[in-house]
A = this chain, B = another copy of it.
Amino acid sequence: MGNIPHIPDIVIGRLPIYLRALNRMIQEEQEYTSSHELGDRLGISSAQIRKDLSHFGEFGKQGTGYNIKYLYEQIRHILKVDRDWPMAVVGVGDLGHAVAHYRGFKMRGFWVACLFDADPSKIGEQVAGLTVQSMDEMEAEIRHQTIKVAMIAVPAKEAQAVANQLVKAGVRALLNYAPITLAVPPDVRVQYIDPVAHLQHMTYYISP
C-alpha cells in the first residue's frame, strides 16, 4: 500500500491519534474494537472514523468490527512508522534533555540518533548515552546518518537559522518547539509544539 493521493492532511493528522488509542487497547489485551468505541474514547464521531479509514481500504467487518492488531499494523504502515526513524535533536537545554530522555519514541517509530548545541560548554557532554556535537558538525553528521527528521529545541531567535541548516542537510520533517513560525521549502513539513495554543483552546470553556 503506497501513499494514496488527495487524502486531506487533516485525515492524516488523525491517524496518529487512532494509533495511540489502538496501542492502549493492545496493552489492555483487547482484541476487537468498533468505530463507536474508538470514537467514544477519542471524542470523534464514529462516522468520521469510518470515513477516515475508508480512504485506505476496508479494515473492519460488519458485526465483529476491527481487529485491533491488524488495524494498528496497517496504520503504522500507512504512516511509515513500521520502521525506526533516526532523529536529530538541536538544542540541549532543559527541553532538549527532556526530549533526549523521553521513552515514548521507542515502539512508535523514532529514536534520537544525535544531539547538537551551539554552546561550547555543552559540546562533548554525555546526554542519554549520546555525545553532544557542535553545530559545525551537524550537516555532515545528518548526511552521514541519512537523517530525515529533526526536533528544534533552541531559542526562538536561532530557530530559523537552525531550520535552514537542517533542510540543507536533507531533513524533511521538523518538529519545532520554538515559539516561531518557520519558513521552509514546499517539500519540507513542519509541525509545532505550542503548549500555549493548547492552553488557550481550553480557557474558552472555563466559566469565570
Which of A's residues lie within 8 Å of B, judged by CB?
A: 3, 12-13, 15-17, 19-21, 24, 41, 78-81, 85, 87, 93-95, 97-99, 101-102, 104-105, 108-110, 148-149, 151, 172-173, 175, 179-181, 189, 191-206, 208
Contact = CB atoms under 8 A, between A and B. Distances in A.
Oligomeric state, in copies: 2
Given A93-B98, A204-B79, A105 B191 contact: no
A110 B85 CA distance: 35
A98 B99 CA distance: 11
17 contacts: A16-B194, A16-B200, A20-B194, A79-B203, A81-B203, A94-B95, A94-B97, A99-B195, A109-B196, A109-B200, A110-B199, A148-B206, A149-B203, A173-B206, A189-B202, A189-B205, A193-B193
Contacts of A193: 193, 195, 198
Contact of A173 (B93, B180, B203): B203
A79 B47 CA distance: 29
A203 B98 contact: no
Contacts of A181: 20-21, 24, 41
A17 B189 CA distance: 17
Given A20-B197, A87-B199, 14 more contacts: A3-B205, A12-B201, A13-B201, A20-B194, A24-B180, A94-B95, A95-B95, A104-B194, A108-B200, A172-B206, A173-B203, A189-B202, A189-B206, A191-B201
A93 B98 CA distance: 8
Contacts of A192: 198
